[in-house]
């Protein structure tokens, strides 16, 4: 579970509710079914109108990314690439065919198969770059849906407030009830603004952030595979990928170089 996402939501809504209580507000007044219907129902409706069904399904599919923390171990992937490179230099590229069934990462598995099949480096890059682009683009499409919801939600809150005020102002026979009725009308605005800034926009941002991390991992895999295909020294491979690894904020493993790996050859 992504503790930051869950903890952030609890802290955000908890802070709002606690502050409201401190100001002597009645929490029960915040529970307005009609306001929730206008804001959340209207937001979802606007999203459904804005995007094709395929993109909506993509957003639903990747929604779990917000709350599931998929560990991306950059260092382990680098070490795996170095080991594959070392074996390829010792036993030849065909020896790597035995490693394919044991590989879990789908991009690495597919790319290694292309390397073993003797495909040209430029062709391998084109194929894998396309895979990387499609994977990232799918996540960006999912993020766009939640970001759009974050844009519609405050507007729906204002609509709900206006509708509430219309109802209040159309019946001014009892001035004593005017204040509480207006307060209730503004609950819709609270729903709209808070849900946009604590839910929808943050969901989109979280998915985009994780998409960026996965893209970096995939780029490391592509460069590593091309290095293996070109027969480069494992130590050179490690140094080449090291610069990319620094961009992720990760530290390279201090493990020793594979036996037999030399700079010259």
Q: What is the mean pLDDT of residues 83-92?
A: 91
pTM: 0.82
Strand residue runs (E) in 70-145: none
Q: Give the chain's end-to-end CA distance (angstroms, integer).
A: 45
35-83 confidence digits (pLDDT tens): 999 999 999 999 999 999 999 999 999 999 999 887 788 888 888 999 9
What pLDDT, on a 0 to 100 scale, did the predictor assign at position 10? Answer: 95
Which of 19-28, 43-52, 108-117, 166-175 shows the lowest per-residue confidence on average (mean pLDDT)?
166-175
209-233 confidence digits (pLDDT tens): 999 989 999 999 999 999 999 888 8
Instruction: Give the model's confidence band at 260: pLDDT under 50 very low, under 70 low, under 90 confident, else very high.
Output: very low
What does the H/E/C string look like for 191-228?
HHHHHHHHHHHHHHHHHHHHHHHHHHHHHHHHHHHHHH
User: What phi and psi, each to the nearest 5 degrees, are found at residue 181?
Assistant: -65, -40
What pLDDT, on a 0 to 100 scale, did the predictor assign at position 74? Answer: 85
What pLDDT, on a 0 to 100 scale, did the predictor assign at position 49? Answer: 97
4-13 confidence digits (pLDDT tens): 999 999 999 9
Give residue limits of the domains in the chain.
Answer: 32-252
147-201 confidence digits (pLDDT tens): 999 999 999 999 999 998 888 887 777 766 677 778 888 999 999 999 999 999 9
What pLDDT, on a 0 to 100 scale, did the predictor assign at position 46? Answer: 97
């Amino acid at each position: 579970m992504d503790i930051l996402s869950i903890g952030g939501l609890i802290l955000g809504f908890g802070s709002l509710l606690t502050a409201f209580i401190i100001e002597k507000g009645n929490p029960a007044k915040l529970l307005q079914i009609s306001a929730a219907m206008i804001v959340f129902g209207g937001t979802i409706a606007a999203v459904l109108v804005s995007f094709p069904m395929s993109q909506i399904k993509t957003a639903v599919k990747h929604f779990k990314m917000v709350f599931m923390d998929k560990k991306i171990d950059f260092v382990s992937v680098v070490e795996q690439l170095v080991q594959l490179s070392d074996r390829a230099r010792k036993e030849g590229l065909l020896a790597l065919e035995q490693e394919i069934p044991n590989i879990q990462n789908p991009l690495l598995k597919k790319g290694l198969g292309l390397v073993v099949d003797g495909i040209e480096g430029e062709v391998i890059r084109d194929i894998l770059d396309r895979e990387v682009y499609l994977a990232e683009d799918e996540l960006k499409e999912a993020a766009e849906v939640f970001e759009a919801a974050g844009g519609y939600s405050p507007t729906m809150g204002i609509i709900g407030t206006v509708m509430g005020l219309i109802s209040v102002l159309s019946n001014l026979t009892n001035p004593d009830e005017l204040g509480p009725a207006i307060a209730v009308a503004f609950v819709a605005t609270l729903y709209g603004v808070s849900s946009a800034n604590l839910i929808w926009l943050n969901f989109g941002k979280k998915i985009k952030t994780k998409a960026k991390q996965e893209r970096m991992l995939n780029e490391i895999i592509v460069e590593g595979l091309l290095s293996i295909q070109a027969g480069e020294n494992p130590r050179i491979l490690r140094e080449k990928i090291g610069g990319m690894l620094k961009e992720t904020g990760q530290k390279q493993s201090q493990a020793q170089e594979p036996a037999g790996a030399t700079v010259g050859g």
